[in-house]
Amino acid sequence: MPDRPQNGQSLIFPVTLDLPKHLELGGTTWHCRREHHVTTFTPDLAVAVGRPLADLIALGQRHEPALTEPRGVHFDGRAATAERDDGRRSLVAFCDVDGLAEVYAQLSADLGTPVPLPPNHVTLYSSDARDKGIGLATADAVAAYTTPLTPEQAAVLTKTLPR
């Protein structure tokens, strides 16, 4: 199995959102993240594609301009809580990102194997002020660490997000 990446090797672009500082949802007071972004690429994908970590790091470096270019983000109404064993919890909203599928088609062509598009999302709130993300780089991570919000809860969370 490929090694896990170190911090700083993921690529993101910032997303500007105007959200309330705190949100009461599901019996928890949630704290708005200090910054919002979409993670467009992470070497965590090495496990998903079965390639050495160094290959994915090099791939990300070659395509960094396209992967960090700000893009249109369209929230689709899906939202979830994400939780890790250490107690970190966050609220995430899933989204579509303009043009990212085309970038991933190029990544796949360059690597010579399919590179799965990450589960596009923005972490909006955390359950405490630590503000540390959960890490949802693959569909397997989303399945392992998230629980979908009820439609009513998702509506409360996503009502201020652009569609």
Cα dihedral 5, 140, 117, 36, rounded to 10, equals -70
Report the number of distinct structural domains present in the chain: 1
pLDDT in tens, 133-147: 778 888 888 999 999
Domain coverage including residue 154: 11-158
* CA-CA-CA-CA torsion sign (86, 144, 101, 61): positive
The pLDDT assigned to 73 comes to: 96
Average pLDDT over residues 117-127: 93
Query: So what's the pLDDT on residue 2?
Result: 34
pTM of the entire predicted model: 0.88
- Residue 2 counted as domain residue: no
For residues 49 and 137, give the distance between their C-alpha atoms in angstroms, rounded to a whole number: 13
**Domain annotation covers residue 128:** yes
What is the dihedral angle through the alpha carbons of 103, 40, 123, 75, rounded to the nearest 10 degrees?
Answer: -10
In the predicted model, what is the mean pLDDT of residues 114-139?
Answer: 86
For residue 5, tell me if it sits in a domain. Answer: no
Instruction: Please report whether residue 111 resides in a domain.
Output: yes
pLDDT, tens digit, 9 for 90 and up, residues 6-23: 445 789 999 999 999 999
